[in-house]
Chain A
């Protein structure tokens, strides 16, 4: 459960942000990263941004997640 997911900050008001990861948007807080800005890509864990990362790095993770989703989709199809 220590996994953090990369997401882009698409709205920011005080420490309340809306972030986007692969088209899914959800709320997150930036309390632990006081200097983040709109447009930054952050690692989000349990509703909190914990680190800013480069887009390149985020893309690698997003790609991995997409592969896993496809993988479990195929598995579901096979078993279902």
Chain B
């Protein structure tokens, strides 16, 4: 059984009048890439701040590598790498000097790791350029370099693609996949750019208004957000009966809008239309639809807020 790297039990963070995180329960297993999905202000960053010790919980518990006391959590934080919000460094130091400062502070042996990690994130040639002159993308890369410098077992990345150009986004995605596959690094990545997480995460957590709405694996998600055929007919019950009796198909649902969502025969719309027409059912439209992560999230959040 895979080790639980990070877990939160009923984790809550309240400010004066605002509850930023409310009763979050989650588990992150070794080797997973966990995509934390949520709008701006949903509570993603507060959750990551709680994990990294930048702020303290009002209620609940965090466990990191099995440790859950304050001192032990601090010890275990040495095994993680994190970028929370925008990367921040000393503006008058170069990329190498900034990393060297933290290398000394963290007691990481071997000065070589600084140049290695700068090379890994594509900042090897910044020379004497000060951090204050870096572009947003360069700052993000330096943040990632800092997170990777101690060869972490868990990476916490808060909106890491902000400021990266398309080329940088692809590079980052490939780097994270490589780290996960080759070095078995567990990754918790938050983003509101959902298309990026689709290509990366193996597990998803959907967060809104500080609450965890849903957690599911990428397989479960693809099942739930599967492609389907939307059938609009005048006799919905009759069409449903035909699907079951003539095609032996039970993989469908009738929506509140009185449409049929069919999850089989996606490549045979003509067969379905023929079935309807030949049995005297008026066919209004038939089309194959696809729910992506974005639509799934909107559906989830919308559903909750309407509830």
Chains A and B form a bound pair: no
